[in-house]
Structure 1
Amino acid sequence: MNTKWLSSILVAIFSIAAIVCIIMGYFNFAVLAMTIMFALSNGFRAKSFKEQGYVKEAKWMKYMAIFFTIASIIVLYINLTD
């Protein structure tokens, strides 16, 4: 499967999950879905920037993806311990 399609599908799935969680009132899980969505989108964007030759922007997006990955793990831990 094409990487672009895969990234789009994964981001769409977590976006829809966040919206559904907001509607149902599960705000903690909505935040989890949004942080995962941001981590995925920034990770795929970093890869895309690197392929295009935008090294500085790719590095920035990589660090943003790492930040949101760590944030996702922290939110998951908080959700599981509550």
Structure 2
Amino acid sequence: MNKKWLSSILVAIFSIAALVFIIMGKFNFAVLAMTIMFALSNGFRAKSFKEQGYVKEAKWMQYMAVFFAIASIVVFVIVLTD
């Protein structure tokens, strides 16, 4: 499967999950889905920038992906302990 298709499908799944959780009123799960979505989209964007030769932008996106991955773990722990 193409990398662009895979990244788009994963981001779409977590976006839809966030919307569903917002409608259901489960905001902790919505925030978890959004942070995972941001981590994935920034990670794929970092890889894309690096392939295009934009090294500075790729490094920035990689840092943002790591930040959102750590935030996802923190939110997941909060959801589990809540």
Bin of the TM-score, shorter chain as denominator length: over 0.9
Give yes or no for the alignment of 1:52 onto 2:52: yes
Which residue identity does 2:28 align to in structure 1? N
Note the 1:4-23 alignment, pairs <5 A.
Answer: 4-23=4-23
Root-mean-square deviation over aligned CA pairs: 0.2
The runs of at least 4 consecutive aligned structure 1 residues that moved more than 3 Å come to none
Shift of 1:59: 0.1
Q: SS of 1:20's equivalent?
A: helix
Instruction: Give the structure-1-normalised TM-score.
Output: 1.00
Task: Provide the rounded CA distance (Å) in 1 between the counterparts of 2:25 and 2:79.
Answer: 14
Task: Give TM-score scaled by structure 2 length.
Answer: 1.00
Question: Superposition pairs for residues 1-82 of structure 1, below 5 Å?
Answer: 1-82=1-82
Stretches of structure 1 lacking an aligned partner (at least 5 in a row): none
> d(CA) in 2 for partners of 1:81 and 1:28?
11
- Matches of 1:50 and 1:73 in 2, distance apart? 26
Calculate percent identity across the aligned residue pairs. 87
Q: Which amino acid aligns with 1:44?
A: F
